[in-house]
Chain A
């Protein structure tokens, strides 16, 4: 039997070994929140009760670590992230697979994630860098300690939000519950816990790096997308509307005999762009998971 909340959490973490790290973080967060609230209620209702006695009765109702781990695994296996790919056997031809990417929600999700990442990179990364420097520089004064602590808390909140965007658009399972600090700790211990936890710094680093990375993602994917569409539309643009292709500032009228080739290149470049987006989404998903999941 577990004598306190921390021991219960350690056992639950052990039972969940091998599961998705985001699921472990959610399960631990749910359990910690519930058990601490229940313990507080139990001890305020019956002050003479020892913590071990209270925990025994609480765990009886909440479920032991083994039961809870099994409940999380069972439900998780039935609910995958929105855009997660089903593991069905691929029976389409190579051509169908190449062009079929345009009908895949996951490729579109990754495409929109890359487009959006310049905005989120700018806002989240800008906050991580600018507010980080300002709040860090206030540490020379006593008042700077709570300011820097609040900044680090905001980083964890933003990291959770970024995780939700990643899960919605890239279909990668990310934590759905925020991490919290034990309210029984003193302000000083809370601040030290924030500083000592590697998750805080990994989240900060991730958000700061999103600033340049988001710009690269957005610009790259936007350029490829615009080129694809302008190549596809080049016969109509040039012959009907007399609009030349604008290649890096130079207006170029394509010879008429070459227009079908440019148009065909556009039809190839478009799915290629979405294959690239899907691949970047997959790689970014692994990267984000290694940075923004604590468990």
Chain B
């Protein structure tokens, strides 16, 4: 068994009932991530989007998560409290089936980084700008087994080795290591 290790989990709690649909979160996000910082504004570059259908009372602030190269095999629709939400409404992925969470010019995927950087903000800026408290921030500590990560890595590699062969994998890793050094 591996060693137990403390890990901080940063959480943005989203209360859709409190959302007023103003999109200040998108504004703050795009300003924060502009280069140089705050130099430009463009909600289409934001890593949070408010899925908004005012007439059906649908307001869902969604954060950009991991990039995924493939579409889902199927789609889901949720009905909550009698309100139907469109498929993908709650999904965080930057994926081929929709145009959100992609840089409008390059189409490269966007991902929420919790406003980490130089300096890391005490709370993500979107949370600071949400005065109606639809977004609140919480940090909690979780104990994780360090071993687990190693285990997961091995399982992943095993699959790749099975697919491509050990030699090819070794070559690739060596080439990647070399190019990183340069």
Q: Is this pair of chains taken from one and the same complex?
A: no
